[in-house]
Amino acid sequence: MPGHRNPLGMSGLADQIQDAVSTAKSHVHNVSDVAKTFARDKNFDIPYVDLRIQFISASGLPKMDVIGSADPYFVAKLDDKIHFVSTVKSDTLAPVWDEIWNVKNVPVTATLLVRVMDKDNDAPTDDYIGKFETTVQPGTKEVTIEGPILRRTRGVFILKIDSIRIEDRAKQEANKPTDQRGIETAIKHACDDAEKYPYLFDGPIRYSRHFSPTVGHLTAINDARLYSTWKMYIKGIPKVFGDRVQPWNRKYKAARSIFQGPTSIVVRSGIQAGHRMLYARTTHNGFGIINGPGDIHALLQGVVRSGSGDVLDRPHRVKPAVYTYIISLDDESFRFSETGAAFFVDFASKHALHSNCAEAVRYSGEFHPRPQGGWENFSDKVLDEEVEWELVIDNNSGTYSPDKAVLPLLKEVLDENFPGFKIIVLDHENPALKQSTDACRAYALSKRGVKAEELQPHTADGEVTLSHFGTRHAHQAKDLAKSAMEGVVNQVKAM
C-alpha cells in the first residue's frame, strides 16, 4: 500500500543502500547524506537495524599533559540522537576500553560520530584530541582520528559493529508462528515499533560513581557514600513512559525560587555549578555494569560500623539507607545519592541538584532497599544473599511532585533494570511508606553504627560546603577567562 513499508522487502534494500556508501571512506563526513539521498531518489523507505557496537581501543594518541601522557575518553553519537560516554583511562596513549553499546531501531543510513577527549581534572573544560565518523555497516573498523588543525592524524581507533535487521530479529523473537501470516504480523509490529521508537538504548546497564570535590581530609573513608552520586543508564524509558514528563511544581515555594522570579537565575546558577562538580567525569570516578542481582547489591553496599562509628572488619552489607533520585529527561539516566549526603547543605532542592535544574524530569522521589519482611524483622545474623530483597520507591519530591498514577510505569521500568529486586512502588502519602522508611533508618542507627546527623544533609566542623566550593570555583574560572582574554588582547595590540 502507498505510504506503508513492505517489511518483507527490506532485506535487499538494506544491502542496496549500504552498497551505495560502501566505497566511501569511513572518515568521510557526508556518508549519511549519501545514503539518505540515495534512498530518497529511489523512493525507498529506509530500513532499520539493531546495533551492537564494541569500542575496543585506540593507539598513537598525542601526549596531552605536561606531567604524564593523557587521560583519554570518548563521546559517541548516532545521528546526534543518542550518545554514549566512555570511561576515562588514566595516563595512557594506547587506551583499551572494550565497552559495549547496544542500540535498537537504528536507520541503516546512520552515522556514528566519535570525539576523543583528554580529561583534565583541574580545568573547567577537557582537551580535544580529535574525531572520526563512520557508517554503521557491520565489521571491524580501524579508523583514523582526525585532529582539529588541517585534519592531522592523531591516532587510530578500533571498533567492531554487529547488526541485525529488525525483520530478522522479529522472526527470531516470534513465538514459533505456524504460518506466513504470523511471521508477517511479527515483522510489521517490529517495523512500526522502529518508526515509533528509533535509536532505542538497549544496554548494557552501565553506572558511574562520582565523588563530591569537597571529599578530602575531613572525610573519613566510612563516610564516602555521603559524598557520592551515582548515574545509571537504564533501559525502556521511551517505550514505557512515552511522552509523559513531570514538570516543576509551581505550588512549591522552593521550586519557585529556582524557576521563577528575578532572583531565580542566581539560584539556578549556583545549583548548576554544584551539579557540574558532582557529576564531573574524572579519573577518580568508579564505573561498572549491571549484569545481575550481585551488581545491584554491590551498588547499595556500605561498610559495617560499631556503635562508636568505627569501621568493623566485616564484609560489606546492603546499607539501610534512603536515597534521593531523579530520572532525567535529558539522557534518561537514573541519578541518585543518599538523602543525607553532605553536599545537599545550602541547596534549595535535592532533586534540582540531581537534575541540573531541569524544568521537567521523567520522574523523581526517594527509594530504599529492604529485606523481604522489612528491616524491623531482619537480623544481621542472616547473610544478604540468603534473603529476598525489595526496592521501595516513591514519588516524594516537592520540586517536581510526580503524578502517582505513573507509579506503575515506574515499576515496569525498574523491574527491567534492577534484577533480583522486587520493586514496591508507594505514593508519598501512603502510611506504609513512612513505616518502611522509619524502620530502615532505625536499623541503620541501632545495628550499623550510622549517626543520627548522617540521616540529613550535614557538614563537619570546618568543612567547606559544596555551594561555597562552587562559588569559589566559579570565581576562579572567571578570573582565568579574564586573564586569557587580556592575553589575547595584548597579543593583538603587539601585532
- At 86-133, the pLDDT tens digits run 999 999 999 999 999 999 999 999 999 999 999 987 777 889 999 999
Helices (H), 418-461: 431-447
Q: Which domains does the chain have, with CATH numbers?
A: 7-201 (2.60.40.150), 205-470 (no CATH)
Concatenated DSSP letters for 195-229? HHS-SEE---EEEEEEE-TT-STTS-GGGGGGGEE
- Tell me: the pLDDT tens digits for 369-397? 999 999 999 999 999 999 999 999 999 99
Q: What is the pLDDT of residue 460?
A: 58
* 399 close to 255: Cβ distance less than 8 angstroms: yes
> In which band, very low, low, confident or very high, does the pLDDT at 4 lie, cut at 50, 70 and 90?
very low
Q: What is the pLDDT of residue 492?
A: 43
| Grid cell for residue 374 | 522489612
Which helix (H) or strand (E) segment holds residue 269: the answer is helix 264-278
Peptide bond between residue 204 and the one before it cis (omega within 30 degrees of 0): yes
Q: What is the mean pLDDT of residues 197-224?
A: 75
> In which band, very low, low, confident or very high, does the pLDDT at 10 lie, cut at 50, 70 and 90?
very low
Q: What is the mean pLDDT of residues 253-270?
A: 92
Q: Is 42 helix (H, G, I), strand (E, B) or coil?
A: coil
**Crossing angle of helices 264-278/466-494, nearest 10°?**
90
Q: What is the mean pLDDT of residues 283-307?
A: 87
> In which band, very low, low, confident or very high, does the pLDDT at 472 lie, cut at 50, 70 and 90?
low
> In which band, very low, low, confident or very high, does the pLDDT at 150 lie, cut at 50, 70 and 90?
confident
Task: Say yes or no to pLDDT of 175 above 60.
Answer: yes
Task: Say yes or no to pLDDT of 277 above 90.
Answer: no
Q: What is the pLDDT of residue 67?
A: 77
> In which band, very low, low, confident or very high, does the pLDDT at 187 lie, cut at 50, 70 and 90?
confident
In terms of Cα–Cα distance, which of 467, 465, 458 is closest to 271?
467
> In which band, very low, low, confident or very high, does the pLDDT at 25 lie, cut at 50, 70 and 90?
very low
**What radius of gyration do the chain's Cα atoms show?**
25
More confident residue, 50 or 315: 50
Q: What is the pLDDT of residue 221?
A: 41
Task: Say yes or no to pLDDT of 199 above 80.
Answer: yes
More confident residue, 361 or 194: 361
Give dist(CA 286, CA 283) in Å, integer. 9
CA 39 vs. chain centroid, Å, equals 34
Q: Which of 71-80, 295-304, 363-372, 483-492 has the lowest mean pLDDT?
A: 483-492
Q: What is the mean pLDDT of residues 164-186?
A: 77
> In which band, very low, low, confident or very high, does the pLDDT at 281 lie, cut at 50, 70 and 90?
confident
* 186 close to 171: Cβ distance less than 8 angstroms: yes
More confident residue, 192 or 75: 75
Q: Which of 33-47, 236-250, 340-354 has the lowest mean pLDDT?
A: 33-47
> In which band, very low, low, confident or very high, does the pLDDT at 188 lie, cut at 50, 70 and 90?
confident
Q: What is the pLDDT of residue 1?
A: 38
Q: What is the pLDDT of residue 149?
A: 78
More confident residue, 307 or 289: 289
CB atoms within 10 A of CB 91: 13
Q: What is the pLDDT of residue 316?
A: 82
Q: Is 480 helix (H, G, I), strand (E, B) or coil?
A: helix
> In which band, very low, low, confident or very high, does the pLDDT at 192 lie, cut at 50, 70 and 90?
confident
Give dist(CA 361, CA 408) in Å, integer. 17
More confident residue, 218 or 87: 87
Q: What is the mean pLDDT of residues 15-22?
A: 48
Give dist(CA 196, CA 208) in Å, integer. 30
> In which band, very low, low, confident or very high, does the pLDDT at 173 lie, cut at 50, 70 and 90?
confident
Q: What is the pLDDT of residue 64?
A: 86
The proportion of the chain whose per-residue pLDDT surpasses 70, expressed as a percent, equals: 77
Question: Judging by beta carbons within 10 Å of its beta carbon (0-12, 13-18, 19+), is residue 88 exposed, middle or buried?
Answer: buried
More confident residue, 162 or 472: 162
Q: What is the pLDDT of residue 340?
A: 83
> In which band, very low, low, confident or very high, does the pLDDT at 310 lie, cut at 50, 70 and 90?
low
If you count them, how many residues does the chain have? 495
> In which band, very low, low, confident or very high, does the pLDDT at 449 lie, cut at 50, 70 and 90?
confident
Task: Say yes or no to pLDDT of 76 above 50.
Answer: yes
| Grid cell for residue 191 | 517495523
Q: What is the mean pLDDT of residues 317-337?
A: 95
**Separation of first and last alpha carbons in the chain:** 69
* 439 close to 321: Cβ distance less than 8 angstroms: no
Give dist(CA 342, CA 455) in Å, integer. 10
Q: What is the pLDDT of residue 186?
A: 82
Q: Is 98 helix (H, G, I), strand (E, B) or coil?
A: strand
